[in-house]
Each structure stands twice: as C-alpha cells, then as structure tokens.
A = this chain, B = another copy of it.
C-alpha cells in the first residue's frame, strides 16, 4: 500500500514526488508541514502560514486539515484540474473545479512528510439508525405509531415537500406523520404543520399531524401543542439494554 515516503523533502524533491504520483493516479497523497492556503469560489478564504495536513484522494477530493477540529480548514469535494508550479522556490498546488468555479491554492513552505499510498477498493460498510431505516420499519409495522393505523402512502409528494408517512387512523381520520431520527426541533413542527394544512385544504376535512421522533425540544413540543399536533416517541436504534419481549421497531419482519 505504501508507494513512496519523503522525510523533510526540499522543494525540488517535493515537486518531483507530486508530479510522479499525480501522473500515476490512484494515489492517496498526504503532505504535512508548513503551508499557506487560499480558497476562492462560493466564498473566499485565506490561511496564514501554519502547520497543516493536505490529503488528496484518487477521486480528486482534497482537504486541508488544521491542528484542531473534525472539519477541514479548506476543502474541495472534487477537482477537475490540478496543476503544480514553482513560485519563488516554493511548490504551489492549484486545484480547480469547474462547476461551481472554485479553486484551492496550497503553497508548501516547509514540508515535514510526504507520503503516497495506493489503497485498495472501498470495503463493505453498513450504517444502522438512519431515518430511511425508521421509515422502512414503520412502513412494515405502522401499529408501532398507534394501534389500528393503516398506511396509505410513503414519501407522498405535495407542493410544499414530501410527506414521510400518510395514513388513516382507526376512526377513519387521515394522519400525516413526520419522522426525525434525532431530537426534533421547531423546524420539524413547522414542516409538519405545512403538510397538515396542505392536505387538509386538499381533502376538505380535518387531518391529524404526528411528529414521530426519539425526542423533541421544549419549544418544539410547545408549538406542536399550540398547533393541535401530536408527538409520538419512536427510537432510531434498538436500546443498549437486552432486547425485551415487547414487539419493537427492530424485530425481524
């Protein structure tokens, strides 16, 4: 996996390394050291000379990491064109993207480490606890929202957005359900209120609105009540505790 490794290269050695590895393709490039970074595109930024880590992946994504924080200081999700120059004895890398037109320019002042690796194809990855998974589970078992609930539609489009779950309750009333995988905020309440109003106008009868989430903020619950809407607690992941005998979201179908 390790292809090349330079320890404190000078500008010339770094330039040769970058030229070779970029031409070869399929490389993960890591460069750590003192750099200056400029960005111009949707916004514009300038980073003074400091210690950064540049990571360039085979898909053309680029990120510059500062000493702190999970998010890169500068980044580019894709680059359409990469160029290298020598500017006054410094290696300068310019990564451009066509649409939107953006540019990240990295000037290497003092490089501690430059590594080229050739990673294999991406391996398998599974994620549990997404909103999509909640939606599938509740589609299979709508009675987990309330007994007698009969599902009519999933992701029902309206002109103010898609309704997560659309159903009829045991008394024959229509129910709009808005799902959130994490704590719901007042935005979710407003989203639900818009759907309920729109459906209610369309069918000419009162429609219930249910916010289904593991929890909600206090202001969200207040607003929900004021608007005559309802909250139903639904977990996104099974409990850490041993699974009990009650039927739940996460039982096999």
Could you tell me which A residues sit within 8 Å of B by CB distance? Answer: 1-2, 5, 7-8, 28, 30, 32-34, 42-53, 55, 57-59, 61, 63, 65-70, 72-73, 75-77, 112-113, 115, 117, 119-130, 159-161, 181-182, 186, 190, 194, 219, 236-237
- The residue that A47 contacts in the complex, of B42, B125, B161, with Cβ under 8 A, is B125
Q: A2-B112, A119-B51, A123-B47 are in contact. Are A67 and B28 (CB under 8 A)?
A: yes
Q: Within the oligomer, what is the number of copies of this chain? A: 2
Q: A2-B112, A70-B61, A119-B67 are in contact. Are A44 and B190 (CB under 8 A)?
A: no
Q: Which residue of B lies closest to A2 (CB)?
A: B112
- Chain B hits for A52, CB < 8 A: 119
- Chain B hits for A194, CB < 8 A: 190
Inter-chain CA distance A237–B41, complex, in Å, is 9
Q: A1-B112, A2-B32, A186-B160 are in contact. Are A127 and B43 (CB under 8 A)?
A: yes
| Other 19 A-B pairs with CB < 8 A, given A2-B32, A51-B123 | A2-B113, A28-B32, A28-B67, A43-B236, A44-B128, A48-B124, A49-B123, A57-B67, A58-B67, A58-B68, A59-B68, A59-B69, A61-B68, A70-B77, A112-B117, A113-B115, A115-B115, A190-B190, A190-B194
Enumerate the 3 nearest inter-chain pairs by beta-carbon distance, A residue then B residue, closest first: A50-B123, A43-B129, A51-B119
Q: Shortest distance in angstroms between A13's beta carbon and chain B's nearest beta carbon?
A: 15
